[in-house]
Every structure is written in structure tokens, then in C-alpha cells.
Amino acid sequence: MASHNVIAESKDVALVEVLDRVLDKGVVISGDLVISVAEVDLVYVGLKALISSVETMERLRGGPFVGPMQEPT
């Protein structure tokens, strides 16, 4: 079976996939009770820019997209 066109495949997926979900998705509660911190958003802006595109990761690594938690395929 050809696997040349698979960038990555694993349950232990790349960190970028985890970050994209844990920091940007899921239940968001707003209101007076929850403690929201402006600095977190500011940090996140930079982080989001860093992880926004898979191809950037590819380019920076100069090769296939391989996260720290997975085996290259």
C-alpha cells in the first residue's frame, strides 16, 4: 500500500493538533464567575500564529510534518 502521500498518522498525533483543540476549541464559558485573564489571550495570539498552518511546520522542518508525539510514516 502506498504511503508516500501520508504526512502523519497516529493516535498520538502531532502537538499542533492538540494545541489547536485544547487552546482554541471546546466549551467556552463567559461571565462574571469564570476567571478570564487577558494575558492568556495575548500569549495565545502568538501561539496561534505559530501553529496556524501545517505547511509552515513542514517548511520550517524542511520535511514531512512530524510532531513530537508520533512516529513518521
Provide the binding-site residues for other proteins, judged by CB under 8 A. 1-3, 5-11, 13-15, 17-19, 21-29, 31, 33-35, 37, 40, 43-44, 47, 52-55, 58, 65
Q: In sequence order, what are the residues at sequence separation of 6 or more whose Cβ sits closer than 8 angstroms to the Cβ of residue 47?
A: 19, 23
Half-sphere exposure of 57 (CA within 13 A, CB side): 18
Q: How many CB atoms within 10 Å of residue 11? A: 6
Which residue's CB is nearer to other proteins, number 25 or number 62?
A: 25
Q: How far is the CB of 58 from other proteins (least distance, A)?
A: 8
Q: How far is the CB of 61 from other proteins (least distance, A)?
A: 14
